[in-house]
């Protein structure tokens, strides 16, 4: 039987920082690095160097690179869900403008980092054949959560249109789920293309057609 009280392999970093703070700094450094360079081909040296953590201390905080990757995905998912909720639930904006508000915010972030980062989840999906199975399962769960949020938004949007006989979309729950999946398929492709052309034009093109489809204009 495995000893549940087994001590971590490494030792905490001698930096004077709280262990929880150090672990959080490692995860944030991992988000930045993996978003730009991917997971499979990345070593830990640069990630550790950025937060001044010796390599021998890494295993005090994480059992493996795989476990570290899962923590990074979780962190990014929480961050991204907060961003989605902040826009899609923003009662200070008309319902029709909330998805566009999220898109504009995301475009600003992509431009801020000179088109080098994009979306961590989308980037990892492109190297899925090289990732551990646990990462595949986690990425599927994350994407499903994002789709659920957009599906709820589209359901609320549809209800608002239904109240206006001139703009009724009359979508079923199955259709809003399918459209939410379609949104993220198009979104991840557009974000990836932005990195290639160093322009947000692919996102603008995708959103133009999605907005026309959903009568957001």
From first to last of the 217 residues of the chain, give the pLDDT tens digit: 444 455 555 566 555 557 889 999 999 999 999 999 999 888 899 999 989 888 888 999 999 999 999 999 999 999 999 999 999 999 999 999 999 999 999 999 999 999 999 899 999 999 999 999 999 999 999 999 999 999 999 998 888 754 555 555 556 666 899 999 999 999 999 999 999 999 999 999 999 999 988 877 7
Query: What is the reported pTM?
Result: 0.86
Round to whole Å and give the CA distance between 69 and 30.
Answer: 8
Would 208 be classed as within a structural domain? yes
**Predicted pLDDT of residue 75:** 97
Cβ count within 10 A of residue 40: 15
Would 32 be classed as within a structural domain? no
Would 35 be classed as within a structural domain? no
Would 18 be classed as within a structural domain? no
Q: What SS3 class is residue 203?
A: helix
Would 45 be classed as within a structural domain? no
**Predicted pLDDT of residue 56:** 85
Would 54 be classed as within a structural domain? no
User: Hey, what are 62's tokens?
Assistant: 């994480």
Please answer whether residues 39 and 131 qualify as being in contact, where contact means their C-beta atoms are separated by less than 8 angstroms.
Answer: yes
The whole domain housing 195 covers 66-214
**Predicted pLDDT of residue 4:** 45
Would 84 be classed as within a structural domain? yes
Please state the domain count of the chain: 1
- What DSSP assignment string belongs to 93-154? S-HHHHHHHHHHHHHHHHHHTTTS---HHHHHHHTGGGS-HHHHHHHHHHHHHHHHHHHHHH
Please answer whether residues 96 and 31 qualify as being in contact, where contact means their C-beta atoms are separated by less than 8 angstroms.
Answer: no
Q: In this structure, what CATH number is given to the domain that contains residue 81?
A: 1.10.357.10
Round to whole Å and give the CA distance between 44 and 54.
Answer: 10
* Residue at token pair 């009724």: 168
Would 33 be classed as within a structural domain? no
* Residue at token pair 């979780």: 74
């Amino acid at each position: 039987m495995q000893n549940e009280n087994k001590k971590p392999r490494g030792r905490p970093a001698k930096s004077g920082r709280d262990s929880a703070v150090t672990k959080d700094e490692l995860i944030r450094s991992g988000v930045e690095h993996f978003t730009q360079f991917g997971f499979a081909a990345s070593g830990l040296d640069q990630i550790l160097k950025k937060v001044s953590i010796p390599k021998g201390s890494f295993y005090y905080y994480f059992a493996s690179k795989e476990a570290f990757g899962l923590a990074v995905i979780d962190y990014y998912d929480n961050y991204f869900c907060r961003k989605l909720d902040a826009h899609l639930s923003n009662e200070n904006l008309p319902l029709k403008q909330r998805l566009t508000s999220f898109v504009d915010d995301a475009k600003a972030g992509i431009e801020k980092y000179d088109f080098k980062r994009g979306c961590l989840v989308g980037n990892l999906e492109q190297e899925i054949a090289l990732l551990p199975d646990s990462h595949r399962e986690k990425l599927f769960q994350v994407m499903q959560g994002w789709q659920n949020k957009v599906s709820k938004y589209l359901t609320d949007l549809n209800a608002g249109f239904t109240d206006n006989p001139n703009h009724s979309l009359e979508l079923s729950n199955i259709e809003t789920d399918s459209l939410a999946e379609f949104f993220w398929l198009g979104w991840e492709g557009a974000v990836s293309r932005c990195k290639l052309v160093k322009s947000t034009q692919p996102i603008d093109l995708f959103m133009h057609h999605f907005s026309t489809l959903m009568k957001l204009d």
